[in-house]
Amino acid sequence: MQQLVFATNNRHKLDEVAAKINGQIALLTLDDIGCHDDIEETGTTFSANASIKSHHIYNKYHVNCFGDDSGLEVDALNLEPGVYSARYAGEHGNHAANIKKVLEGLGDTPNRKARFRTVISLLWNGEEHFFEGTVEGTIRYEVSGEGGFGYDPIFQPDGYNITFAEMTMEEKNRISHRAKAMDGLIAFLNKV
């Protein structure tokens, strides 16, 4: 079975990807390879940040790996928070503060159009390949649901009347931005 390192310490992302891969590939974590580096995301695009992560791991450990970067783009906020989604309100990973900042920024604005975007950078035998996924939706006026993470409690995907946080992981994995990017990655790996 092929082995692949996912360059993340985010347990939620890892669980989503592992469920999507469903045992087709041996997915290794940074812990599995003994990597405890704090890989700084200094890029200004999702592609750049994903590439920074994958190159860091590949150059240091010489293993096939992929990194991703994801975020929420809100049309009425000039596509913010974008690449700064995890630290939009200042503190990295403070989901409640990030959600509050988005909701305050939108106020009563009727244009709630938004999307989640994921870009994956795969380094396979030294060659880089990119895979992207997006899911369109709207930002709710208030938080709804207990599941998921990040902005999931305020993001309602098009065609649904519930937020990502109200979906099961299986439901979300069928339509999410990360799932779509992973579909591209898995299709690529099935051909190598």
Which token pair is 167?
């979906």
Confirm or deny that 94 is annotated as ligand binding.
Answer: no
Give the HSE-up count for residue 120: Cα atoms under 13 Å, Cβ half-sphere: 27
The answer on whether 166 is annotated among ligand-binding residues is no
d(CA 108, CA 124): 46
13 annotated as a binding-site residue:
yes
Q: Which one of 69, 108, 158, 183 is the catalytic residue? A: 69
9 is in an annotated binding site: yes
Q: Is 141 annotated as a binding residue?
A: no
Is 54 marked as a binding-site residue? no
Tell whether 129 is in a known binding site. no
Q: Do the annotations mark residue 12 as ligand-binding? A: yes
Known catalytic residue at 32: no
- Residues annotated as catalytic (active site), given as ranges: 69
* Residue list, annotated binding site for Mg(2+): 40, 69
* Residue list, annotated binding site: 8-13, 40, 69-70, 149-152, 172, 177-178
* Residue list, annotated binding site for substrate: 8-13, 70, 149-152, 172, 177-178
